[in-house]
Amino acid sequence: MSTARTDITLPPDLRKTTGTGPVRLQQPIFVDSIPPCNHACPAGENIQAWLDKAQAGDFESAWRTLVRDNPMPAIHGRVCYHPCESSCNRQHVDDAVSIHAVERFLGDLALENGWLPELDRQPSGKKILIVGAGPSGLSAAWHLALLGHEVEIREAGPMAGGMMRFGIPAYRMPRDILDGEVARIEKIGVKITLNSKVEDVMATKEAEAFDAVFMSIGAHLAKHVDIPARDSGRILDAVSYLASVERGEEPKLGRRVAVYGGGNTAMDAARTAKRLGAEETMIIYRRDREHMPAHDFEAVEAESEGIKINWLRTIREIDSTTFQVEVMEVDENGRPQPTGVIETLEADSLVLALGQNVDTSVIERIPGVSLAWDGVVEVNNNMMTGAEGIFAGGDMVPSERTVTIATGHGKKAARHIDAWLKGTTYQKAPTQPSVDFDALHLRYYTDAQQRQQASLPPEHRTGDFREVTAGLSAKEAQFEAARCYSCGNCFECDGCFGACPEEAVIKLGKGKRYEINYDLCTGCQACFLQCPCHAIEMVKTENRA
């Protein structure tokens, strides 16, 4: 169903503004701008490009375009918090394009069909060591291998994946999907050595003739807090708890479990405890819902599964299974302040989910490497530490700690490492302006609601670790991709061609777009005003009779 837009107004003196008549003051030019989704993607994906191929039904080409930037789309389609969708211009009309759902579909289809990237590379003769097989290390390995370098990842743990495996439960990140994405990275030539902790980076680099090292150790050390306890039940940290569950070691936490914290890890720990048999699971958090670090949908899903969240509460003392908690209130700066009001809660065990730190002991042994006050590694604009040839990214450097940001770090580091090995400096192309919603000319649009992913009912979730959210079908994924407005980039809709009163717009053939005959163009703006995606700009030109 098409709906006409009635809120578009034209300048009162269009003739003066457009420069039509004896003097042309401006003329149209075709431009390519950055769509807001691309601009917002931490992994630097060319989202609009692969959506274009997906909407045409060319799913394999879409996947190949996607993995030029992100080697793990089946993972990111599940665990990325998709800031691209928060920036999508379509949300101002109906719903944002469900980019993550289409990405997941493409990733799953690639695993099903065994797709591999086209390997057009010449061996460089260079060896790179990557320390840590989390998202940042895996991403860097993928891109460096595609550039022709010999890459080995050394992982201290028994399995690759880092916090994607040991920090994200299987109901959000199925292990067969994770294993499949890792296996593809190995298939393009990356060597992954497990149970191999690098104790001395410089000695290993020299002894084994590595030309560069990328440090990508994840934040696996839990932060702790001192809570007075006369006689407490079991207390453990969320990171260790989730990791032990992954290893098949299920800690016995009792009938009532409390989780202390308000981040995504706290939500995962509480939901995991529920799945492992806890009859009562609660979260205790010192701020309110508005100021929690967890994404809101995480709290919504936790509550739907019967988990109680005690907002504005902080633990003051534990005596056996009795928790004394103080009621807090949020001040004008969003900070929690004590009220002096004490309440009592009962729980058999406590899981601390107060954040994580990186184990920097191996880094501290490297001469020249500096650590910031908060324990992260200081790197320059090229992601190199103070030690020549030692790079770092992911949780180790200042940034938000998400899978997608870490993946973006891996790609960025690979480009800088490649350039450094060649004796040059990687220079990112200048960023074009992003096209916001007000720049679009959506006179007519199709009312096409976002395709929703099915999910298990809450009452069927907590008995096991089956994946909660389902994927899209091929038909749904193609429909969803077709909802993209192609912001900032011509998609050859022929609107400019049909709107020009002087027949100055010339079609060049499919895939070649258009050109403008300026001998015929009067600068009337007809093409510019009807272009739905803002692929045309009006620029000043010399006065011309």
Q: Which domains does the chain have, with CATH numbers?
A: 2-32+490-540 (3.30.70.20), 36-115+441-482 (1.10.1060.10), 127-160+189-220+358-421 (3.50.50.60), 224-354 (3.50.50.60)
Task: Write out 440-504 in H/E/C secondary structure.
Answer: CCCCEEECCCCCCCCECCHHHCCCCCCCCECCCCHHHHHHHHHCCCCCCCCCCCCHHHHHCCCCC
- Residue 537 confidence (pLDDT) above 90: yes
Q: What percent of the chain has pLDDT over 90?
A: 77
| Cα–Cα distance list, 244 to 104, 169, 273 (Å) | 27, 11, 12
State the pLDDT confidence band at 544, using cuts at 50, 70 and 90. very low
State the pLDDT confidence band at 541, using cuts at 50, 70 and 90. confident
Position 13 scores a pLDDT of 44
State the pLDDT confidence band at 443, using cuts at 50, 70 and 90. confident
pLDDT averaged over every residue in the chain = 90
| Nearest 10 degrees: Cα torsion 419, 421, 424, 428 | 10
Position 9 scores a pLDDT of 43
C-alpha closest to that of 80 among 398, 302, 297: 297
d(CA 254, CA 241): 14
Q: Report pLDDT digits (tens) over 471-514.
A: 999 999 999 999 999 999 999 999 999 999 999 999 999 889 99
For 409-448, give the DSSP string: HHHHHHHHHHHHHTTS---PPPPPPBP-GGG---SEEE--
Q: Assign 303 to helix, strand or coil.
A: helix
Mean pLDDT of 45-54: 96
- Residue 125 confidence (pLDDT) above 90: yes
Q: Report pLDDT digits (tens) over 381-435.
A: 999 999 999 999 998 887 888 999 999 999 999 999 999 999 999 988 888 889 9
Q: Report pLDDT digits (tens) over 255-277.
A: 999 999 999 999 999 999 999 99
| Cα–Cα distance list, 41 to 8, 263, 403 (Å) | 31, 22, 12
5 or 42: which carries more pLDDT confidence? 42
C-alpha closest to that of 396 among 213, 243, 165: 213
Position 432 scores a pLDDT of 82
Mean pLDDT of 271-285: 95
State the pLDDT confidence band at 20, using cuts at 50, 70 and 90. low
Q: Go through 491-504 and write b for each residue having 16 or more CB atoms within 10 A of its CB, e for each that does not.
A: ebeebbeebbeeeb
Q: Report pLDDT digits (tens) over 294-316.
A: 999 999 999 999 999 999 999 99
Crossing angle (nearest 10°) for helices 99-113 and 59-66: 100
C-alpha closest to that of 225 among 280, 271, 284, 281: 284
* Phi and psi, residue 529, nearest 5°: -70, -25
Q: Report pLDDT digits (tens) over 358-379.
A: 888 888 889 999 888 777 899 9
Mean pLDDT of 162-169: 93
Q: What is the DSSP letter of 34?
A: B
- Residue 80 confidence (pLDDT) above 90: yes
d(CA 90, CA 97): 7
Q: Go through 243-274 and write b for each residue having 16 or more CB atoms within 10 A of its CB, e for each that does not.
A: bebbeeeeeebbebbbbbbbbbbbbbbbbbbb
* Phi and psi, residue 528, nearest 5°: -65, -45
